[in-house]
């Protein structure tokens, strides 16, 4: 049990841009997703920069929309360095006419791309969560900084989302629940999560589910051999507004059913079961994909799949039994081989 939830709360500056003075090729990544009440699933990812400084584009924003009838739209735009700005004193990211701005617990997201406009407000319903003391779970970004580091702030584990999506000339009201996190690091992000001399992770599973009284965010991956080859596990559990558990072990993934995607050739899991076995959290989260939200092939053997699932939670948290279902988001990234 987390006795002092405030120790895991981000500082206000952790919601802003990170002035990474000691990194050769720093990058930042703002991730937003939402599932609307009427069945739209939307993901917007802001990656700045995604290429070495001498190459273009300097930054990239993507928009992925899955409609209630499962129709999928992927849109993306790149930006030159002169068109991108990040504030280190407030939450203000600009890329052309698109922006993220506001002050926690409320952020405005505006993204214009040919064929669509997303205008939404994310308003956090819970505390934010990060790895104490500075958000870095690989290395450190403060002196004495390490050559390789990566930070992760779960800025909004659960957020109320309102606004509009304009897609193919149709204006769609948006109302639902969403998630927002912010990552940063020292290596280049090229062709996926890559470093100049390799990659951080061999694979990862990541996801979140908004149950009636609880919010869960999980990450289960494996660091590459040069970084120790350790399994990297996290399970964040919030009850209402507050963090009640933050696990770094006792999380196990099982994939009883694997299929091959015809379009990309990626093998991925049609059913995924997360089992938790700890002193405070026990049980299972069963995930069954119902709609793809993104599929990308990393030649020659890797892939990335994000999908909306029917999630079924049969858990016990701090002695409280949870038996509930909800739509949720899960993703799988793997570079060398599909994890079993």
Instruction: Say yes or no: 267 and 143 in one domain.
Output: no
Indicate whether 67 pLDDT > 60.
yes
Last residue of a domain, one of 183, 198, 213: 198
Q: CA of 104: how far to CAs of 14, 203, 277, 281, in Å?
A: 10, 31, 34, 29
Indicate whether 196 pLDDT > 70.
no
Instruction: Say yes or no: 65 and 51 in one domain.
Output: yes
Last residue of a domain, one of 165, 198, 231: 198
* Predicted structure pTM score: 0.92
| pLDDT band with cut points at 50, 70 and 90 for residue 51 | low
Which of 293-297, 302-306, 333-337 is most confident?
302-306
Instruction: Say yes or no: 158 and 171 in one domain.
Output: yes
Instruction: Say yes or no: 332 and 318 in one domain.
Output: yes
Instruction: Say yes or no: 281 and 326 in one domain.
Output: yes
Indicate whether 22 pLDDT > 90.
no
Residues 6+ apart with CB under 8 A from 203: 221, 222, 332, 333, 334, 335, 336, 337, 338, 339
Last residue of a domain, one of 198, 230, 248: 198
**CATH number for the domain harbouring residue 191:** 2.40.370.10
Instruction: Say yes or no: 207 and 218 in one domain.
Output: yes
In this predicted structure, what is the pLDDT of residue 43?
95
Instruction: Say yes or no: 88 and 219 in one domain.
Output: no
What total of structural domains would you count in the chain?
2
Instruction: Say yes or no: 4 and 149 in one domain.
Output: yes
Indicate whether 301 pLDDT > 70.
no
Instruction: Say yes or no: 219 and 194 in one domain.
Output: no
Instruction: Say yes or no: 156 and 13 in one domain.
Output: yes
Query: Residue 172: enclosing H or E segment and its boundaries?
Result: strand 170-185
Asked if 160 and 177 touch (Cβ cutoff 8 Å), the reply is yes
d(CA 130, CA 335): 26
In this predicted structure, what is the pLDDT of residue 258?
80
> pLDDT over 90 for what percent of the chain?
59
- Average pLDDT, integer, range 50-78: 83
Domain that holds residue 291: 200-340
Q: CA of 226: how far to CAs of 204, 223, 249, 299, 302, in Å?
A: 17, 8, 21, 21, 19
| pLDDT band with cut points at 50, 70 and 90 for residue 294 | confident
Instruction: Say yes or no: 214 and 258 in one domain.
Output: yes
Instruction: Say yes or no: 168 and 219 in one domain.
Output: no
Asked if 176 and 36 touch (Cβ cutoff 8 Å), the reply is yes
């Amino acid at each position: 049990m987390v006795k002092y939830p405030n120790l895991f709360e981000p500082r206000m500056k952790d919601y802003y841009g990170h002035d990474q003075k000691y990194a050769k090729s720093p990058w930042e990544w703002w991730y937003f997703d939402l599932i609307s009440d009427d069945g739209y699933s939307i993901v917007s990812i802001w990656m700045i920069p995604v290429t070495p400084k001498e190459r273009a584009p300097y930054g990239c924003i993507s928009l992925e929309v899955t409609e209630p009838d499962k129709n999928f739209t992927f849109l993306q735009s790149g930006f030159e360095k002169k068109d991108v700005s990040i504030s280190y004193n407030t939450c203000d990211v600009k890329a052309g006419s698109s922006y993220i701005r506001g002050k926690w617990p409320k952020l405005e997201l505006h993204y214009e791309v040919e064929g669509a406009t997303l205008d939404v407000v994310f308003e956090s319903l819970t505390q934010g969560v990060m790895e104490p003391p500075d958000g870095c779970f690989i290395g450190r970004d403060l002196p004495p900084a390490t050559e390789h580091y990566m930070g992760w702030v779960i800025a909004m584990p659960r957020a109320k989302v309102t606004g509009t999506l304009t897609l193919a000339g149709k204006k769609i009201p948006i109302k639902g629940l969403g998630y927002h996190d912010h990552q940063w690091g020292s290596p280049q992000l090229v062709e996926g999560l890559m470093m100049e001399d390799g990659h951080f992770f061999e694979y990862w599973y990541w996801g979140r589910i908004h149950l009636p009284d609880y919010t869960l965010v999980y990450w289960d991956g494996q660091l590459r051999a040069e970084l120790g080859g350790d399994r990297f596990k996290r399970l964040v559990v919030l009850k209402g507004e507050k963090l009640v558990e933050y696990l770094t072990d006792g999380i196990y993934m099982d994939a009883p059913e694997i299929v091959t995607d015809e379009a990309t050739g990626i093998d991925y899991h049609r059913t995924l079961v997360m089992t938790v076995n700890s002193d405070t959290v026990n049980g299972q989260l069963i995930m069954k994909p119902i709609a793809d939200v993104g599929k990308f092939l990393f030649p020659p053997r890797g892939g990335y799949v994000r999908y909306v699932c029917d999630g079924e939670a049969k858990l016990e948290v701090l002695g409280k039994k949870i038996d509930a279902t909800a739509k949720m988001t899960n993703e799988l990234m793997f570079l060398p081989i599909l994890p079993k």
